[in-house]
Amino acid sequence: MNLPKILLIDDDPVVRSLISNILRKKGYEVILAKEGQEGLEVAKREVPDLVITDYQMPGISGIDVLTQMNEINPKTPVIILTAYGDATLTIKSIQTGAFDFIEKPINPKELLETVKNGLSTLGSVRQKEEPEVLPERRKDDNLMVGKSSVMREIFKNIGRISQNNVNVMITGDSGVGKERMARLIHESGYNKDQPLVYVNCKILAEQQLQNGQGTGRTQTEMSGRNSLDAKLKQVDSGTVILDEVGMLSSQMQMYLLDQMSREDLEASRMLPRFISITTQDINDLVNENLFLKELYYKLKVFSLHLPPLRGRKADIPELVKNLLQELNPAFDKKVDQLEDGAIQLLQSHEWPGNVRELKNVLMQALVLSHGEVLEKKHIRLEGKPVHVVKDDVFEERPRSMDEVEKEHINKVLEYTKWNKQQAASILGITRPTLNAKIDKYGLTKY
C-alpha cells in the first residue's frame, strides 16, 4: 500500500522536526526540504501528493513555491505555513492557488485536519493560465485584520470569491466592519482598478421621502431612480456597495432589479459586482413581502457573516495595532506601544458597539496620550470605572521592612489579645522569636 507522500519545506529545523513527527505518527511519508528552490527540485523528482511550505524563507518565498508548483503539477494541493499571518497574505495565498493556510505555532489537530482535507480533494486545485504576479503592498492592504479562526476562514473565502464576478451579501451587527470587508473584496478583486461606487440605501430612502413631500408619488419615484441611476452609470465594470440594502423602498427595489436584469443580457461586456451590506435579515423581509425575492437571490450569490467583536476577542491585539497605525497620522501621534495590561483591559470589555466602539475608544485615548505608549488610565470603557493612577505627590512615604513588620506584629498581638502562643502561630514564627521582636520594636500591651 502506497502511503500518501507529503513534501515539507521549511528553513527552521525545529518546525521540520515537529511537523514531520506529527505526520509520520499518522502514517504519512514525509520528505523534507530546507528552502524553496530545493523543495521545487524535490517536487519534480518525488511527485508528492501534497506540499506544505513556509511563507518566509531565505531565497524564494512560499508564494513563489506555490506559483511554480502550479506549473510543475497544478493538481498538487499546497498548504502555506507562516508566523506572519494577515488578511492580505491569506487572500493572496488563496488567490494564487493555495489549498489552505496555517499559522504558527502549529496546532497538531488543525494541521492533521487540513492535510486530510487536502489529500481528500486531490486534484481540486486548478491550474492558472498565467500565475499571478503579486503587486507591491498598497495602502489598502490592511483594511481588515484578525487571527481568530473565524476571521481566517473569512479571509480565505474572500480570496476565493474576489477573483470571480459574483455578487456578495455581507451580514453582521452594526459597527463590526462590514463596509471595510466590502472594500477589501473590491481591492483584492479582479476589477480592483475599476471604479468603486458606494450607495447609502438608508440616505437614498430618506431623500426619496423628503423629495416626495407635497408632490405626487411619481415625482418621488423618479427622484430616487435618478439618484441611483447616476451612481450606477459611474461604475461600469467596477463594484457597487449597497449599504443597508434592506432600506430600499419597493419602487427602488424594482428599479434596481430591472437594471440588473438588463445587464444580465449584456454578456459581451464585464458587469459590475454588487456587494450588499445589511444588519437586517433580508430573508425575513422577503417572507414579509417587504423585499423582492428575485432581487434578493440576485444579490446573495455568495454570503459572508461578520461576527460581533465579543465573539472574537483574540483579534483585539491585531485590531488595536492596525487602528493605531491608521489613527496616528490624524492625531499627529506616534503611539505604537501599549502599557502592560492594556490589551487585557480591552479584552475584558463586551464591545456592544463592536469595532466602531473600539476605534472610538482608541481615538479618545490617543487624544489624552503623551509619548509613544498608550496608558491604561486613558482607556475609557462604557460601563466601567476609569482606571486612575495616583500621583506620587499624594502617596504615603515608602516604609522600611522593619516598620511594616512592627505594625503587622502589633496588629496580630492586639487581635489575639496578646496571646503570644496564638500570635506566634499566626505569624509562622516561634514564641522565642516573637519575644525577641517584641523587645526589638519596644511593643507593649495596652
Q: pLDDT (tens digit, 9 = 90+) per residue, 388-441? A: 444 343 344 566 778 878 888 888 888 778 888 888 877 778 888 888 888 888
The number of folded domains in the chain is: 4
Predicted model pTM:
0.64
pLDDT of residue 263: 60
Q: What is the pLDDT of residue 122?
A: 64
Examine the domain organization and report whether 298 and 361 are in the same domain. Answer: no
293 plus 356 within the same structural domain: no
Do 344 and 426 fall within a single domain? no
- pLDDT value at position 280? 93
Whether 257 and 388 map to the same domain: the answer is no
pLDDT reported for residue 398:
62
Domain that holds residue 321: 310-393
Below-70 pLDDT ranges, the chain: 1-2, 84-86, 121-142, 205-226, 263-270, 383-399, 446
User: For the domain that residue 322 is a member of, what is the CATH number?
Assistant: 1.10.8.60
Q: The sheet that has 273-278: what strands, in order across it?
A: 196-200, 239-243, 273-278, 168-171, 302-305
> Looking at residue 394, what is its pLDDT?
36
Instruction: Provide the pLDDT for residue 237.
Output: 83
The predicted pLDDT at position 283 comes to 93
Question: Which of 387, 395, 426, 388 shows the shortest CA–CA distance to 409?
Answer: 426
pLDDT at residue 269, as a whole number = 56
Do residues 50 and 4 lie in contact, with contact meaning Cβ atoms separated by under 8 Å? yes
Please name the amino acid found at residue 234.
Answer: Q
Whole-angstrom distance, CA of residue 414 vs CA of residue 391: 33
pLDDT of 446: 60
Query: Are residues 169 and 303 both part of a single domain?
Result: yes
Three-state DSSP state, 6: strand
Residue with cell 495565498: 93
Q: Which of 101, 123, 139 is the last residue of a domain?
A: 139
- Residue 360 sits in the same domain as residue 431: no
What pLDDT is stored for residue 85 in this prediction?
A: 57
To 10 degrees, what angle do helices 178-187 and 149-161 make?
40
Cβ pair 30, 18 in contact under 8 A: no
What pLDDT does residue 430 have? 83
**264 and 320 both lie in a single domain:** no
Give the per-residue pLDDT at 345.
Answer: 93
Kindly state whether residues 276 and 289 are assigned to the same domain. Answer: yes
